Structure 1
Amino acid sequence: MTRLFKIIATLEGISALFLFFVAMPLKYIWHREEFMHTAGMTHGVLFVTYIVIATMLKMELKWSFNKYLIICLASIPPFGTFYIEWKYFRGNQDENSENV
């Protein structure tokens, strides 16, 4: 489950960056809306998946509420999920999941 969370966190971060720094400028500066629907929907699905898996991991790994809150709030700013993945999930955490 931790490995899946790392993958979703990375994809969610990439989708947020694409949405904020490619799709939105194309729409609001150059009036080109081709990517907005796809980028927005993809990011939304990945965001919800990130939160759902974080909730499942909280229960499975018995995280404190503060840790869970930090991990969830990190999905809001750009680069937040990359930081969380690096800080809490670097290395092979499937073997050492109690360290999370």
Structure 2
Amino acid sequence: MLKLFRATAILEGISYLALFGITMPLKYWAEIFEPNKIVGYAHGFLFIAYVVVALVFCWERKWSIKRFIVLFLASLLPFGTFYADRKYLKDLG
């Protein structure tokens, strides 16, 4: 479960950065809309997967709701999932 959660966290973080760092500027500055739609769908799926896997992972580890909330909030910040991976998950495996 740890490997799945770490992979989901990294992929969600990459999709978040791609969405806001690459496709949003393309959409608004260059008026190229297609990449934003594709990456947006991928990011939405990965975000939901991250939250579900985080919830199951915290339940499995018997972590507090506070730790889940920290992991959830990390998914809302740029580079947040990378920080959460390093701070909370790296030393577990």
Shared fold per TM-score greater than 0.5: yes
Runs of 4+, deviation exceeding 3 Å = none
TM-score (norm 2): 0.96
**1:20 and 2:20 matched:** yes
Q: Which residue of 2 aligns with 1:84?
A: 84
Q: Which runs of 5+ in 1 are unaligned?
A: 95-100
Q: Which residue of 2 aligns with 1:49?
A: 49
Q: Which residue of 2 aligns with 1:37?
A: 37
For residue 49 of structure 2, what is the amino acid of its counterpart?
Answer: T
TM-score (norm 1): 0.89
Count of aligned positions = 93
* SS of corresponding position for 2:75: coil
**1:60 and 2:49 matched:** no
- Identity among equivalent positions (%) equals 44
Question: What is the deviation of 1:65?
Answer: 1.2
Select the structure that is richer in helix.
Answer: 2
Cα distance in 2 between the residues matched to 1:77 and 1:29: 23
